[in-house]
Amino acid sequence: MSKYGITFVGHMAYDEVHHFSGGKIVAPGSAVLCGAMVTARLGIKTAAVVKMSLTDEEIVQPMRDLGVDVFIIPAEHTTYSRVLHLSENIDERDITIIRTAGLMKIEDIPDLDTEFYHLGGISDSEFDMALIDGLKARGHRMSTDMQSYVRQITPGTNEVYFGEAKNKEEIVSKMDMVKLDIVEARTCAGTEDLEEAAKIFESWGCPEMVATRSDGVLARVNGKTYFEKFSNNSVIGRTGRGDTTFAAYQSWRLTHDVPTSLKFAAALVSIKMETYGPFKGTLEDVMKRIEEKH
């Protein structure tokens, strides 16, 4: 057994979220934070390799408090993103990356004893093929979130637009597991049908896909498709939905089959979406939600 179950790689960030109903909240965020807080709460030994300014080191303390081993790559700035929800449709939002910590380099990533390296980026300013090839050469299993490549930053305005991922087929072919949503499916595979998109990704060489949409989560593994609905009563904690879903699925998948892992992920993220910020519940909370609503 490896020392770490999952090692999350990416930026730490501040998220400034403006809700359609009014008001805003600024809080630490990122795919790494949302994911690591899940795996740590589930008792999985977790590492986080993050690029950020050392002046903001206090924002990784919640991960450390849960036992996550945090490795910081110093940067001039900590990434700062602004998210504007434009309507009651929680998937309709404008994102601007005000500042970014910049590309991560393979020589900065510690070679850890881990089951998975998960590349969870906020935008395409974090990972390139040199990093992916370098991690692949270490022989560990790898996973990634396609938002790390399709969220592209407009020079000058820093507004995020969704563009076709460079080297998308090569990236996917090097992964053991890939996460996507409807926007990423449309941008990379030309369809909003998650099952069809997952089949296309499968044809590029990845055996396991996890895809989220507003009502639930789909998995396609070894040629078979599974789906589980969400059970949340609120969407106030929408930001981080995909990161949380994937972390929960990947964690449970280390020791469980696909249907069980998918149900677990849907239940856990449903709890998370009912409050601001990363998942704060317990394994007992998730099991109770599964029993009552899944």
Tokens of 247: 């972390």
- Among the ranges given (11-20, 57-66, 182-191, 252-261), the one the predictor scored with the smallest mean pLDDT: 11-20
**β-pairing, 13-18 with 79-85?**
parallel
The answer on pLDDT for 151 being more than 70 is yes
**In the sheet that 208-213 helps form, which strands lie side by side, from edge to edge?**
69-74, 46-52, 4-11, 114-119, 141-145, 177-181, 208-213, 216-221, 224-229
What are the sequence ranges of the domains in the chain? 4-293
The answer on pLDDT for 1 being more than 70 is no
The answer on pLDDT for 24 being more than 90 is no
The predicted structure's pLDDT at residue 120: 96
How far apart, in whole angstroms, are the C-alpha atoms of residue 132 and residue 114? 16
The predicted structure's pLDDT at residue 255: 95
pLDDT digits (tens, 9 = 90+) for 239-291: 778 999 999 999 999 999 999 999 999 999 999 998 877 889 999 999 999 99
Tokens of 222: 């070894």
The predicted structure's pLDDT at residue 245: 96
The predicted structure's pLDDT at residue 17: 85
| Mean pLDDT within 33-61 | 96
Model confidence at 91, pLDDT cuts 50, 70, 90, reads: low
| Mean pLDDT within 27-55 | 94
The answer on pLDDT for 92 being more than 80 is no
- Among the ranges given (8-12, 89-93, 200-204, 288-292), the one the predictor scored with the smallest mean pLDDT: 89-93
Task: Output the pTM of the full model.
Answer: 0.93
Percentages of the chain per state (helix, strand, coil), in multiples of 5: 35, 30, 35
Domain 4-293, CATH number (from 3.20.20.70, 3.40.50.150, 3.40.1190.20, 3.30.1280.10):
3.40.1190.20
